Structure 1
C-alpha cells in the first residue's frame, strides 16, 4: 500500500511539472506539499517538466491541429524570445527555459527546426538546474520555519 501512496505523490508532482504555467516553479512545492522529500520532489517535478520537450518534438504536427496549441505557438513565435533564440542559438535555451518555460521553448525550437539533441540536452540541463535550486531553497525554507 505504501508504494501506491508514493506513486500517487510522484504522479501528482510529475503532472504539476508537465502542466503549462505550473511547470517546475510550482511542481517542486507541490511535491513537498504531498509529502515527498526534497530529492523526490526535484526528480519528479523535473522529469515531468522536461517530458514536454519529447512530446512537442515527436508530436508537433499533431499538436498544431488543436486550435489552442496553434494559438499558443503563434503567440510564442511572435514574441521577443524567438528573435533571441535565433540570434544566440541553442546555447541560449539554457538561460531562456527558466524565464519562458519549457512549453514555449519547445514550440519555438521545433518551429525553428533546432537540432533535436541540443534541444533535449540544453532544456534538460536547464530544467534540472532550475529544479534543483528550487528544491534546495524550498527545503531550506521548510527547515528554517520548522
Structure 2
C-alpha cells in the first residue's frame, strides 16, 4: 500500500471514528475491511473518536466565561452531586461511553460539573479499550473462520 492510499484510508478511519453513530463500533471493523493493519485500524478511529472530547471541554470552558450561562449551568447541579460525579464518574465514563457515545458523555459530564482531567483520561481509556476489544474479536473471529 502506497503512502497516498494509506493516508486516504487513515483519514476515512478517523472520520468514521469522529462522527456520531459510527464511532468505534463501525470505524474499527470498517478500517480492517479497508485493509489497514490492526494497529492503524485501532489508532485512527480512536484518535477520531477522542477528538470531540477536548473540543467539548474547550467549548464548555468558553461558555463558562459568559456569566449568564455559567449561572444557569451551575444552578443545575448540587455540590453533593458534583463530589459524587468526580469520585465515581470515571467508572460511569468507562462503562457508558461505548453505549451512549462520546459526544453525549463528554457534553453531559462537563455540564454536570465533572473535572476536565478525569473526563479526558477515562474517556480515552474507554475508547481505546473498546477499540482493542473489537479489533481482537475480529482477529479471533477471522482466525477461527480461516482455520
TM-score for both structures, normalised by structure 1 = 0.77
Q: Is the 8 A contact 1:24 1:127 kept in 2?
A: yes
User: Is 2:54 the partner of 1:39?
Assistant: no
1:136 paired residue number: 136
Identify unmatched segments of 5+ residues in structure 1.
64-83
2:117 paired residue number: 117
Give the C-alpha shift of residue 46 in structure 1: 1.0
User: Using the alignment, how far apart are the partners of 1:87 and 1:48 within structure 2?
Assistant: 27
User: Using the alignment, how far apart are the partners of 1:85 and 1:142 within structure 2?
Assistant: 40
> How many residues matched?
126
User: Using the alignment, how far apart are the partners of 1:37 and 1:140 within structure 2?
Assistant: 15
TM-score for both structures, normalised by structure 2 = 0.76
2:76 paired residue number: none
Give the C-alpha shift of residue 58 in structure 1: 1.2
**SS state of the match for residue 132, structure 2?**
helix
Counting only pairs closer than 5 Å after superposition, residues 8-19 of structure 1 correspond to structure 2 as 8-19=8-19
**SS state of the match for residue 4, structure 2?**
helix
Give the C-alpha shift of residue 110 in structure 1: 1.6
User: Using the alignment, how far apart are the partners of 1:62 and 1:142 within structure 2?
Assistant: 46
Range that drifts further, 117-126 or 35-44: 35-44
Give the C-alpha shift of residue 132 in structure 1: 0.2
- Looking at CA atoms only, which structure, 1 or 2, has the larger radius of gyration? 2
Computed over aligned residues only, the root mean square deviation of the Cα atoms, in angstroms, reads 2.3
**SS state of the match for residue 113, structure 1?**
coil
